[in-house]
Amino acid sequence: MNKSTTNILRILLMVGLQVLIFNHIHLFGFLNPNVYLLALFLLPLDIPKSAQYAIAFATGLFIDIFQFTYGIHASACMIFILLRPYLMYALNVNKKKNDTEVPIPGKKDFRWLLLFTLLMTLSHQLIVTMLEVFSFRQFHHTLLVIFANTLFTTLLILCMEYIFIPIKKQNL
Amino acid sequence: MTNLLDFLKRYFHVLTFVVLQVVCIVLISKTMNYPGFAIARATKVLTTPVNRLCYGVVRHFNFNKENQYLVQQNLELMNAQESNFLISSDSVTGVEGDYTDTLGRTKRVRLYEYTSANVIYNTIHKKNNYLMIDKGSEDGIEPDMSVLSANGVVGVVSDVSKHFATVISLLHPDCQISAKVQPANQLGTITWRYGDPTSVYLEDIPEHLNINEGDSVLTSGYSNIFPSGILIGTISEKSKNPTASFLTLKVQLATDFNHINTVYVVRNLYREELETLKSNMKEDE
């Protein structure tokens, strides 16, 4: 299987999982993890940026269609893709320019991955929730939703990464 | 050309990003109402005073039209007033069908009819004051029709040309109209004395009647010119006539003769008939 087929299948799988399973999880009434972000985390960095944006838009819009929030997830996903290389560059210790290696377990250590996933998920969740709520009333509740969802999503994404991605032994 | 292509190639991803974001925003704003309301509510602090200011200026340009509508509406309301009709019979005593229309309402005979006109000439400080209005015989104006303003009585039509008419205003020594003072319900005659354009005098009121300052003076309706119950003014001063046992009451006019624009001309539809009867009375004397 070549690389593009793998990616497309992964995106379809993650979107399907999100729509069929994770959209129906409403823990404590507001916890609703956006696990489909894993597909965007694992999207290769070396394909053209416009293609990345288009993929993110399509993915987000697909999620939107099932949640009746047309445009919100699409917008958040594109900003996610926009931020990804900059955050990777900012978090890299050796400041290697044009790092196109997808950060997965085995390539990066756990602490790096945790911080990266946390920040990326937070940015996505922030946009989604703020666009959906669109008000600063009861802001503490909005913040609670944002942070709880971020933590939950991060937990699930890291679990899935460590469970399903085979770690090739490398010298870190 | 190559530069342009190079530029597009280099920044194609930015273009994609912007275009797709715009699509997102359009989708959000098209499908979700709440953000629009929220923004409108948040920016109300700014938009409300600006809109109010803007509307406050713009509405002045529409006053002309607005006035026409209001005059039209006033006319309709004045024409619908109960006091314009003679009620031939009521539905209690009358035989059904004879005195009621097809809807079962009492048949009424209209006595007074209103039309509107604009004042084009007006004096108040002369000894004999006149007004001119922009309607004449072509519009159905005839001499001896009464002229009212929105506030009260203005005068009586004296002369008519094709398109204009002259009105003897209340501020004219010859304009003596029959009036009654309420609540005493006593008849008197209104006369004007040269000098003060804001008040007239009500004469022939017996001394024993309890009349206070502030009582209303209305038209009596006995002259066949004015409908009854039209406000002339309120009593502002009471003075005793030293020679006779009659009071002379100073009446503050309800109509501001300085600022008359739109007036209503009242036609008595049975005036000729009534005049004939009256002239017969005089011949008998």
Determine the structural domain holding residue B233 and report its residue range.
117-271
Q: What is the pLDDT of residue B285?
A: 55
Residues 6+ away with beta carbon under 8 Å from B237: B213, B249, B250
Q: What is the pLDDT of residue A171?
A: 47
Mutate to test the interface with A, among B9, B17, B26, B33 (most CBs of A within 10 A): B17
Answer whether residue B218 is part of any domain: yes
CB contact B65 to A (< 8 Å): no
Answer whether B24's CB lies under 8 Å from A71's CB. yes
Nearest-by-CA chain B residue for A81: B17
Q: Does B168 share its domain with B33?
A: no
Q: Does B30 share its domain with B137?
A: no
pLDDT tens column, A13-27? 999 999 888 888 888
Q: Picking from A103-112, A117-126, B84-93, which range would have the lowest pLDDT averaged per residue?
A: B84-93
**Among residues 1-30 of chain B, which lie with CB inside 8 Å of chain A?**
12-13, 15-17, 20-21, 23-28, 30
Which CATH number goes with the domain that contains B188? 2.40.10.340
**Inter-chain CB proximity A70 and B31 less than 8 Å:** yes
How close, in Å, is residue A59 to chain B by CA atoms?
12
pLDDT interval class at A117 (50, 70, 90)? very high
Q: Identify the top-confidence range among A27-31, A104-108, B61-65.
A: B61-65
Please state, in angstroms and rounded to a whole number, the distance separating the CA atoms of residues B269 and B45: 58
DSSP A42: T
Q: Does B37 share its domain with B160?
A: no
- The residue-averaged pLDDT of A111-134 equals 91
Domain boundaries, given as residue ranges, for chain A: 3-164
pLDDT interval class at A164 (50, 70, 90)? confident
B-chain residues within 8 Å CB-CB of A64? 27
Distance set, CA A141 to CA A33, A56, A135, A138, A147 (Å): 17, 28, 11, 6, 10
Q: What is the pLDDT of residue A101?
A: 77
Q: What is the pLDDT of residue A13?
A: 92
Number of domains making up chain B: 2
Distance set, CA B179 to CA A124, B188, B197, B241 (Å): 84, 5, 18, 19
- Rounded to two decimals, the pTM is 0.57
Q: Does B132 share its domain with B263?
A: yes
A11-39 burial code (b ≥16 CB/10 A, e <16): beebbebbbeebbeeeeeeeebbbbbbbb
- The residue-averaged pLDDT of A44-62 equals 90
Q: What is the pLDDT of residue B43?
A: 83
Q: Does B137 share its domain with B258?
A: yes
Answer whether residue B78 is part of any domain: no
| B203 bridge partner residues | B189
Q: Does domain A3-164 have CATH number 3.30.70?
A: no
- Whether ipTM exceeds 0.95: no
**Inter-chain CB proximity A71 and B26 less than 8 Å:** yes
Closest by Cβ to A70, choosing from B17, B27, B34 = B27
pLDDT tens column, A91-102? 876 666 666 778
Tokens coding B216:
């209303």
Please state, in angstroms and rounded to a whole number, the distance separating the CA atoms of residues B270 and A70: 74
Answer whether residue B131 is part of any domain: yes
Q: What is the pLDDT of residue A75?
A: 92
Q: What is the pLDDT along chain B (285 residues), one digit of tens a residue?
A: 788 888 888 888 888 899 999 988 888 888 877 877 877 888 888 888 888 988 888 888 888 898 889 989 988 988 888 777 776 555 555 555 556 666 666 667 788 889 999 999 888 888 888 999 999 899 889 888 999 988 889 999 999 999 999 999 888 888 888 888 888 888 888 888 888 888 888 888 888 888 888 889 998 878 788 888 888 999 888 887 777 778 888 899 888 888 888 899 998 888 888 888 888 886 665
